[in-house]
Amino acid sequence: MTDRIVSAEVLVTSPGRNFVALKITTAGGVTGWGDATLNGRELAVASYLRDHVCPILVGRDPARIEDTWQYLYRGVYWRRGPVTMAAIGAVDLALWDIKGKVTGQPVYQLLGGAVRERILSYTHATGWDVPALLDAVDATRERGFQAIRVQTGVPGLESVYGVTPDGGTYEPAGRGTGPVEEVWDTDAYLRHVPGALAEVRAHAGPELALLHDAHHRLTPNQAARLGKALEPVDLFWLEDVTPAENQDVLRRVRAATTTPLAIGEVFTTIWEFQQLITEQLIDFVRAAVSHAGGITHLRRIAALAEVWQVRLAPHGPSDVSPVALAGATHLGLATPNFAIQEYMGYPDLTHEVFRHAWTYADGHLHPGDAPGLGVDVDEALAARFPYEPAYLPVARRRDGTLTDW
Ligand code: GCO
Ligand code: MG
């Protein structure tokens, strides 16, 4: 029997950090949850959903996930862009959640079932200087992680994105009415990083998977140099070397180095990944299941990537909510060319608001076997934490010019 959507509601909450969640309810009384969080631009997606998407979802058949995706993507003249795609992603996640609950199956079963027992995950270790970073790596390994993203401070700079002075956890966006400004010096970074990562490798031994994120701050030539310099470190990947808006330039980087490249947490459609994948300019697709149009679309990107032996490694910082992390773990369990899931972790309060069936143990994640995505949102608790303005920092070069992220 055909069910229909009776309501779609947006919930903005800040349990430790800001999240935007979408709740879709059917006439049959089934609810599904999606994640629409776009770090630092949360309210734009909330409005896009509330003002333009929720009203036209009412009355639709929740079982028609693909058709709804097409309706919200192709049916709208103004397609693409992170706000639109995050909104579509939230709807898609919520509809997969509903389909799972209606059929009594965890979503990974609906995607064809598990192709692996559990999924490899990585988290972040940071240290302002190299000794602190080595301590952080040791402490992270004690938590079971077999893959770790390592970032350090840079001599001469007062702050570096993603690295806290005390080596503790960081939140990508800082609370406040505007972005904090940092000073950035790519030359100083390039002088420091190869040696620092070599020390991590010498300390950790050959087996630990090491990852590093350059946050789009290099020119192609600098990226080529860095990739080459890091070859002895044997990285699992070097992430976001250039802004990659001009993808042709990556040919030069690829020609110069065999260090694996991961790109794409800011890309949200298969069309933005097309050249990266079909020219094998990258080894790993970094899109988030929420930002890239949900399970329906990220699965399609993964299928294209599979043809070119490029693997899926979804974005999973703390600004991708536990609902999207659930979506990513279901997809990861069922996708042959899935490689690794980022799991940065969340503030305790976040886990209390988003109660999830997915689990972390021994360096791996598992989505659990609850029907749907397996995340329940404690709406009463969520209501106690209203949105607080928070922004990612911006970086300027020493002469004051804004630099790429
Ligand atoms: C990563 C990231 C994040 C982003 C953040 C932006 O996890 O690889 O680069 O830390 O900077 O998610 O909102
Ligand atoms: Mg990144």
- Check pocket membership of 394 for ligand 1, CB cut-off 6 A: no
Q: Would you list the domain boundaries of the chain?
A: 110-369
Say yes or no to pLDDT of 29 above 80.
Answer: yes
pLDDT score at 170:
84
Task: Return the C-alpha torsion angle 236, 17, 329, 59, nearest 10.
Answer: -140
pLDDT score at 133:
97
Q: What is the pLDDT of residues 336-379, one digit of tens each?
A: 999 999 999 999 999 999 999 999 999 999 999 999 999 999 99
pLDDT score at 62:
98
Region 276-285 average pLDDT: 98
Indicate the SS3 state at residue 72: helix
CA of 215 from ligand 2 middle (Å) equals 6
291 as an active site residue: the answer is: no
CA atoms of 187 and 380, how far apart (whole Å)? 49
pLDDT score at 165:
78
Task: Return the C-alpha torsion angle 162, 167, 171, 173, nearest 10.
Answer: -50
Q: What is the pLDDT of residues 79-99, one digit of tens each?
A: 999 999 999 999 999 999 999
At residue 265, what are phi and psi to the nearest 5 degrees? Answer: -65, -20
- The structure tokens listed for 286 are 């970094």
Say yes or no to pLDDT of 168 above 80.
Answer: no
Per-residue confidence at 166, pLDDT binned at 50, 70, 90?
confident
Residue 149's H or E segment, with its range, is strand 147-152
Q: Which of 73, 108, 161, 189 is catalytic?
A: 161
- Check pocket membership of 345 for ligand 1, CB cut-off 6 A: no
pLDDT score at 15:
98
CA of 149 from ligand 2 middle (Å) equals 10
- Check pocket membership of 317 for ligand 1, CB cut-off 6 A: yes
Q: What is the pLDDT of residues 290-332, one digit of tens each?
A: 999 999 999 999 999 999 999 999 999 999 999 999 999 999 9
CA atoms of 203 and 148, how far apart (whole Å)? 13
pLDDT score at 190:
98
Residue nearest to atom 3 of ligand 1 (CA): 317
Candidates 285, 328, 294; CA nearest to 87 is: 294
Q: What is the pLDDT of residues 111-165, one digit of tens each?
A: 999 999 999 999 999 999 999 999 999 999 999 999 999 999 999 999 999 898 7
Ligand nearest to the CA of 240: 2
Say yes or no to pLDDT of 59 above 90.
Answer: yes
Indicate the SS3 state at residue 153: coil
Ligand nearest to the CA of 162: 1
Atom of ligand 1 nearest to the CA of 162: 10
Average pLDDT, the chain: 97
CA of 58 from ligand 1 middle (Å) equals 34
CA of 213 from ligand 2 middle (Å) equals 6
Say yes or no to pLDDT of 1 above 80.
Answer: no
pLDDT score at 231:
98
Q: What distances in angstroms separate CA 139 from CA 125, 144, 394, one per listed residue?
A: 9, 9, 30
CA of 401 from ligand 2 middle (Å) equals 22
- Check pocket membership of 172 for ligand 1, CB cut-off 6 A: yes
Say yes or no to pLDDT of 405 above 90.
Answer: no
What fold characterizes domain 110-369? Answer: TIM Barrel (3.20.20)
First to last CA, the chain: 49
- Check pocket membership of 171 for ligand 1, CB cut-off 6 A: no
Q: Which of 215, 216, 291, 330 is catalytic?
A: 215
215 as an active site residue: the answer is: yes
Residue nearest to atom 2 of ligand 1 (CA): 317
